[in-house]
Amino acid sequence: MEGHVHFEDLNIEYGYSCMPERLHYYSNEENDFRMEVRKWCKENVEPVIEKIDRERNYELVVEILRKMKPYLNIIIPEEAGGLGKGVLYRTIFGEELTAFNYALASTFGASSCLFAGPVIEFGTPEQKKKFLSGIADGTKIGAIGVTEPTGGSDAIGGMKLKAKREGDHYILNGEKCFITNGSVADYICLYAITNDKVKPHQGMTAFIFETDTPGFEVIKDYKHLGRRGMPNSHLRFNNCKVSVENVLHKENVGLDVLLFGLDGERTFTASQYLGISRSAFEVAYKYAHRRMQFKRPLYSFEGISFKLSEMFMSIELNRMAVTQIARMLDDGHYCRASVAAIKARLADDSVKTTQEAIQIVGGLGYTEEYPLERYYRDAKVGQISAGTAEIMRYLISREMIRMWGK
Ligand SMILES: Cc1cc2nc3c(=O)[nH]c(=O)nc-3n(C[C@H](O)[C@H](O)[C@H](O)COP(=O)(O)OP(=O)(O)OC[C@H]3O[C@@H](n4cnc5c(N)ncnc54)[C@H](O)[C@@H]3O)c2cc1C
């Protein structure tokens, strides 16, 4: 083989190319689920992967999300029309879907995990019935609203969105920014300050906010470096009237809801970083075997094959860790430091893996002929969203003191 090796020549098959169909650390049922999801993605997502990114086409993303009916309900309880599966299943789904398209997977995650997760855990039977069945069948879209212009990493300390109680309802005023699905969501798991006489973490409440409430306004959708096609919005709440029936859990204990939700969110995002790393690895691995330089395939040079070994080390070991942490969460164990650790490790590794994949492919890897530039752009946000790389380390340092003292 001589000359340039084009992407089409590699016959990439997202996941099939460099991964066994059955992994021994999954049960038969979990392995079957993984393969079923992959097949679904191949049929429904693969044909539009590039279109979503190039056109920043979030109408298309929402259209596919609604079609994702067999999977939207993975974690939704059976009584609300779901499959009642746990965290592990959604990490399998997260990895597989992200291996095809990160923007779509994030849209799914915000709705079916980040919105639905806390409602499943803390919602009343009426709230579950009312707000989860639409998420499970794709007629409704969810989001999570924490971040504000004044509260990014210090989300709670800087929270200015106020919810003032007036009889049997609250009046909400303030803003949220960077909200994934914000402009297309029907419901937002929204955090607001309900008692400003105490420290913010003692006076914060979680609400199920319905976006058809008068006074709700989408200020703008952001344009990102990566994850193009994922709606991500700046929102304003002007005297929005929300019923007490929409309080999730109880007034002023929103911190419990938030921390629970973040553990689930970070485990899901870790599985996404795995998916993007795997796709980059597959391309680089196949390319290295086909591209000839110095009359030999690139793979025969240790400078290249060792890079691929490093990628394998990261993907293989991190997948095992994600799987184990997801099982611990499913079994009800407290493992906040482990969740932060895998989230931070995988976010960094996925940036490195996608970057090294471009390095292996060289000039072509830097062009839009290959999907690697997309993977690299997509991966970067892992070190920012769902808690930055620095904040994960801060959280771990706090948890170490909690676990072992000083
Ligand atoms: C694509 C995308 C999707 C998102 N989706 C959502 C969503 O659905 N819902 C939602 O609520 N939010 C969402 N976010 C917001 C995200 O969680 C915040 O961007 C993130 O928490 C960081 O906040 P910030 O951007 O204000 O940065 P800042 O907090 O201003 O931080 C800037 C830099 O300073 C560092 N820093 C801050 N404090 C410290 C410290 N104490 N020690 C060391 N370093 C520090 C940070 O790590 C970072 O590198 C999303 C963001 C993006 C980019």
Residue 144 confidence (pLDDT): 98
Our answer on whether the CB atom of 185 is closer than 6 Å to any ligand 1 atom is no
Residues of the chain with pLDDT > 70: what percent? 100
Least trusted range by pLDDT, from 67-76, 178-187, 225-234, 344-353: 67-76
Distance CA 230, CA 66 (A): 14
pLDDT band at 216 (very low <50, low <70, confident <90, very high): very high
Taking a C-beta distance cutoff of 8 angstroms, is the pair 133, 47 a contact?
A: no
- Arithmetic mean of pLDDT, 165-189: 98
The 3-state DSSP class for residue 155 equals coil
Taking a C-beta distance cutoff of 8 angstroms, is the pair 382, 346 a contact?
A: yes
**φ and ψ of 135, to 5 deg:** -65, -40
Q: Where are the domains of the chain?
A: 7-11+256-404, 28-140, 144-254
Which residue's CA is the closest to the ligand 1 atom numbered 2? 385
Per CATH, the homologous superfamily of domain 144-254 is Butyryl-CoA Dehydrogenase, subunit A, domain 2 (2.40.110.10)
According to DSSP H, which parts of 76-209 are helical? 87-100, 102-108, 116-122, 125-137
CA–centroid distance, 381 to ligand 1, in Å, is 10
Which residue's CA is the closest to the ligand 1 atom numbered 16? 385
Our answer on whether the CB atom of 283 is closer than 6 Å to any ligand 1 atom is no
H or E stretch at 271: helix 254-290
Residues of the chain with pLDDT > 90: what percent? 91
User: What type of residue is 385?
Assistant: S
Our answer on whether the CB atom of 109 is closer than 6 Å to any ligand 1 atom is no
Q: What tokens appear for 186 in the block?
A: 């029907």
Pairing of strands 187-193, 142-145: parallel
User: What type of residue is 106?
Assistant: S
Question: Which atom of ligand 1 is nearest the CA belonging to 391?
Answer: 47
Q: What is the DSSP letter of 157?
A: T
Residue 328 confidence (pLDDT): 96
Distance CA 200, CA 183 (A): 27
Query: Over the chain, what is the mean pLDDT?
Result: 95
**Residue 77 clears pLDDT 90, i.e. is over it:** no
Which residue's CA is the closest to the ligand 1 atom numbered 35? 390
Options 148, 175, 210, 265, the catalytic residue: 265
H or E stretch at 175: strand 169-180
Comparison of pLDDT for 184 and 86, the residue scoring more: 184
Distance CA 124, CA 100 (A): 36
Distance CA 271, CA 320 (A): 11
Taking a C-beta distance cutoff of 8 angstroms, is the pair 254, 262 a contact?
A: no
Which of these, 283, 115, 129, lies nearest to 206 by C-alpha position?
115
Which of these, 292, 289, 317, lies nearest to 305 by C-alpha position?
289
Residue 21 confidence (pLDDT): 83
Our answer on whether the CB atom of 227 is closer than 6 Å to any ligand 1 atom is yes
**Residue 16 clears pLDDT 90, i.e. is over it:** no
Does CATH place domain 28-140 in 3.10.20.30? Answer: no
Distance CA 354, CA 375 (A): 6
pLDDT by residue (tens digit) across 87-139? Answer: 999 999 999 999 999 999 999 999 999 999 999 999 999 999 999 999 998 99
Residue 69 confidence (pLDDT): 85
How does DSSP assign 287-333, residue by residue? HHHH-EETTEEGGGSHHHHHHHHHHHHHHHHHHHHHHHHHHHHHTT-
Mark whether 78 is an active-site residue.
no
Q: What tokens appear for 205 in the block?
A: 């409440």
CATH of 7-11+256-404, one of 1.20.140.10, 3.40.50.150, 1.20.120.1200, 1.10.357.10: 1.20.140.10
Our answer on whether the CB atom of 391 is closer than 6 Å to any ligand 1 atom is yes
Which residue's CA is the closest to the ligand 1 atom numbered 37? 153
The 3-state DSSP class for residue 116 equals helix
- Arithmetic mean of pLDDT, 37-45: 95
Place of tokens 């790389």: 389
Which residue's CA is the closest to the ligand 1 atom numbered 31? 153
Label residue 313 exposed, middle or buried (CB < 10 Å: 0-12, 13-18, 19+): exposed
Question: Which atom of ligand 1 is nearest the CA belonging to 224?
Answer: 1
**Residue 1 clears pLDDT 60, i.e. is over it:** no
CA trace torsion 28, 32, 38, 41 (10° rounding): -140
pLDDT band at 141 (very low <50, low <70, confident <90, very high): very high
pLDDT by residue (tens digit) across 62-71? Answer: 999 999 988 9
Taking a C-beta distance cutoff of 8 angstroms, is the pair 131, 123 a contact?
A: yes
Question: Which atom of ligand 1 is nearest the CA belonging to 222?
Answer: 1
